[in-house]
């Protein structure tokens, strides 16, 4: 007889520091509707667990760890402040990569 044990390990949430110096953790909230699920990309303060800020990302996808790192490195821009002239539409990986190229002064961005 073979017995398998499954162990679940929960890693601590990654902490980010906002431009105003507040430590936050990604705390997505899922809104279940009859025909879909929307994800609100919120960040809660580490100090008290309360809402602090929101990431302007599609409610139908989840940003990668790299996306979150870039977003914080860029100062947590919105669709209007990211500087790509588009102004509308949620942020996504491509918009963050383009903004990082401009931030790092890489030709072609």
Look at residue 2 and tell me if it is in a domain.
Answer: no
Region 86-91: mean pLDDT is 89
Q: What residue numbers bound the domain in which 41 lies?
A: 15-103
Look at residue 78 and tell me if it is in a domain.
Answer: yes
Per residue in 41-70, pLDDT tens? 999 999 999 999 999 999 999 999 999 999
**Number of domain units in the chain:** 1
Single pTM value for the model: 0.82
97-101 contacts at long range (C-beta below 8 A, 24 or more positions apart): 97/70, 99/70, 99/74, 100/70, 100/73, 100/74
Look at residue 4 and tell me if it is in a domain.
Answer: no
Q: What CA–CA distance (Å, rounded) separates 9 from 18? A: 28
Task: Tell me: pLDDT of 36 over 50.
Answer: yes
Look at residue 1 and tell me if it is in a domain.
Answer: no
Who wins on pLDDT, 4 or 53?
53
Q: What CA–CA distance (Å, rounded) separates 20 from 106? A: 27
């Amino acid at each position: 007889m073979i017995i398998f044990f499954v162990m679940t390990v929960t890693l601590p949430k990654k902490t980010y520091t906002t431009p105003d110096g507040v430590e936050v953790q990604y705390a997505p909230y899922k809104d279940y509707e009859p025909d879909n699920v929307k994800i609100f990309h919120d960040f809660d303060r580490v100090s008290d667990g309360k809402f602090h800020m929101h990431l302007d990302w599609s409610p139908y996808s989840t940003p990668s760890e790299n996306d979150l790192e870039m977003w914080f490195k860029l100062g947590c821009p919105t669709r209007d402040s990211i500087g790509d002239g588009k102004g509308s539409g949620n942020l996504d990986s491509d918009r963050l990569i383009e903004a990082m190229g401009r931030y790092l002064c890489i030709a072609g961005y």
